[in-house]
Amino acid sequence: MAMTKPALTVVETAFAKINLALHVRSRRADGYHLIDSLFAFVDAGDRIEVQAAPELRLSLGGDFAGELDDGEDNLALRAARAMQRHFGIAAGAEIRLDKQLPVAAGLGGGSADAAAVARALNRLWNLDADEAALVAAIGGLGADMPVCVASRTVVGRGIGDEMTPWPDAGMLAGRPVLLVNPGKACPTGPVYRRWDGVDRGPLGEAVAGSRNDLEPGALTLVPEIGGVLEALNAVAGAGLVRMSGSGATCFALFDREEDRDAARREIAAAHPGWWMLAGALR
């Protein structure tokens, strides 16, 4: 009897994006904001699996699946359709999204999922497309798409899509990081609308001298962010402590994994309802 060949499963991680710095420079007439941001990625996130199928289908699982729509508006499915159109692909795919990152959390989750789907389908469909081609396919879905396709430490300017290398990226790679979210959604649009319109200057050469200009506005929407920042600043070994993106997730960088893990245990004991992720920068 002939053995059935198992279907090829391609797996990608939708790496959590954090903003080590986010300087808002101006607001355009169309509502978009021009920024200087230092983007970095954690070595963990949502899990994407794709297999060959006659048509595109999306299924959801994971801790935060209930907060997502599995219909046509889901960015993961929109990215797959954009890939079909751009590369002229008639084949479909079964896409499974294991949602482990909280939603509306300042971690680029939807964009990271879309970028991971593009990378996975690139492999499943044997497209051999480079990063630029993937960005051309899905870049129209959001300003974070180019940086999420790359998923490495870069400076983003313009609306975040003009990427340049960060000279000290190699020094950041492998740095232990702890992400903490108070369990509150913090939608991006309302946070940006609370920016006070003051340009406090460009991103410099040192992370320590940078800032997140969205933090004050996010705190008015989700005051619990203040408690998270306070908790992270209080643990031993924490270096840079900051809110990521538009919140509500905050992070701390550490020099040692032991300090990161001890901080996780300490904060978990004091705040058992908070979401946390211990990882390292890519």
Domain limits at 19? Answer: 9-165
The answer to whether position 4 is within a domain reads no
Taking residues 123-129, report their average pLDDT. Answer: 98
Q: What is the pLDDT of residues 21-34, one digit of tens each?
A: 999 999 999 999 99
Q: What is the pLDDT of residues 170-194, one digit of tens each?
A: 999 999 999 999 999 999 999 999 9
The answer to whether position 226 is within a domain reads yes
d(CA 83, CA 168) in angstroms, rounded, equals: 33
* CA nearest neighbour of 210 among 1, 21, 60: 21
Q: What is the pLDDT of residues 206-264, one digit of tens each?
A: 898 899 999 999 999 999 999 999 999 999 999 999 999 999 999 999 999 999 999 99
Whether 139 has a pLDDT exceeding 60, the answer reads yes
Please report which confidence band the pLDDT of residue 12 belongs to, taking 50, 70 and 90 as the band edges.
very high
Please report which confidence band the pLDDT of residue 3 belongs to, taking 50, 70 and 90 as the band edges.
low
Shared domain for 108 and 42, answered yes or no, is yes
Burial (CB < 10 A; 0-12, 13-18, 19+), residue 73, is exposed
d(CA 280, CA 176) in angstroms, rounded, equals: 4
Shared domain for 27 and 152, answered yes or no, is yes
**Does this model's pTM top 0.85?**
yes
Shared domain for 110 and 177, answered yes or no, is no
Quote the pLDDT of residue 183: 97
Quote the pLDDT of residue 208: 86
Contact between 39 and 207 under an 8 Å Cβ cutoff? The reply is: no
The answer to whether position 1 is within a domain reads no
Shared domain for 15 and 137, answered yes or no, is yes
Whether 155 has a pLDDT exceeding 70, the answer reads yes
The per-residue pLDDT of the chain, averaged, comes to 96
Shared domain for 26 and 132, answered yes or no, is yes
Query: Which residue, of 165, 193, 213, is where some domain finishes?
Result: 165
Quote the pLDDT of residue 205: 87
Tell me the percentage of the chain whose pLDDT exceeds 70: 98
Quote the pLDDT of residue 90: 96
Residues labelled catalytic: 17, 144
Shared domain for 182 and 144, answered yes or no, is no
Q: What is the pLDDT of residues 104-116, one digit of tens each?
A: 999 999 999 999 9
Whether 7 has a pLDDT exceeding 90, the answer reads no
CATH number at residue 22: 3.30.230.10
Contact between 66 and 13 under an 8 Å Cβ cutoff? The reply is: no
Whether 4 has a pLDDT exceeding 80, the answer reads no
Q: What is the pLDDT of residues 49-70, one digit of tens each?
A: 999 999 999 999 999 999 999 8
H or E stretch including 138?
Answer: helix 131-138
Shared domain for 22 and 146, answered yes or no, is yes
